[in-house]
Amino acid sequence: MTATGIEPARIAGLRPALLPKVLRLPDWLIKFLARRMLAIDPAARSSMWDDLQRRRPTEIGELQGAALRLAEKAGTPAPLLKRVTALVRAAEQERRGSPCLTPEAVVATVRS
């Protein structure tokens, strides 16, 4: 406990003070040590997916839009960001829920 009575949160069993040292380890070792934290639940869904399923407007303009504006400002093409934004906008307009595209399917639509 600290003098303020506030105890820093423990992250994956590590004291926060150790994180800078852990982050200097080789990537393969960090991945090995953090494998449980890095595991993604196959049933997990994003809030944007939830919005589409409930036929609500998403935050695509705030999230992808911000990244697109930065890319445009830097003169960097961002075809995948543009395509994802267009797909989500179309799903919002169609009001049928998520199109349930895999990442590979989205990438394929950019290449075609």
Looking at the predicted structure, is the pLDDT value of residue 108 above 70?
Answer: yes
Q: Which domain holds residue 12?
A: 1-39
pLDDT tens by residue, 55-105: 999 999 998 989 999 999 999 999 999 999 999 999 999 998 988 888 899
Residues 14 and 55 in one domain: no
Task: Examine the domain organization and report whether 63 and 31 are in the same domain.
Answer: no
Cβ atoms of 22 and 33 closer than 8 Å: yes
Residues 51 and 102 in one domain: yes
Please name the residue that has the structure tokens 């407007």. Answer: 57
Do 35 and 51 share a domain, yes or no?
no
Give phi and psi for 82, each to the nearest 5. Answer: -65, -40
Give the SS3 label for residue 11.
strand
Supply the pLDDT for residue 17.
83
Q: Please check whether residues 97 and 53 belong to one and the same domain.
A: yes
Q: Could you tell me the pTM of the whole model?
A: 0.61
User: Do 32 and 52 share a domain, yes or no?
Assistant: no
- The total of structural domains in the chain comes to 2
Q: Are residues 13 and 64 in the same domain?
A: no
Q: Specify whether 35 is located in the same domain as 56.
A: no
CA distances 48 to 12, 43, 60, 67, 106, Å, are 27, 15, 8, 16, 16
Residue 64 burial (C-beta neighbours within 10 Å; 0-12, 13-18, 19+)? buried
Residues 35 and 54 in one domain: no
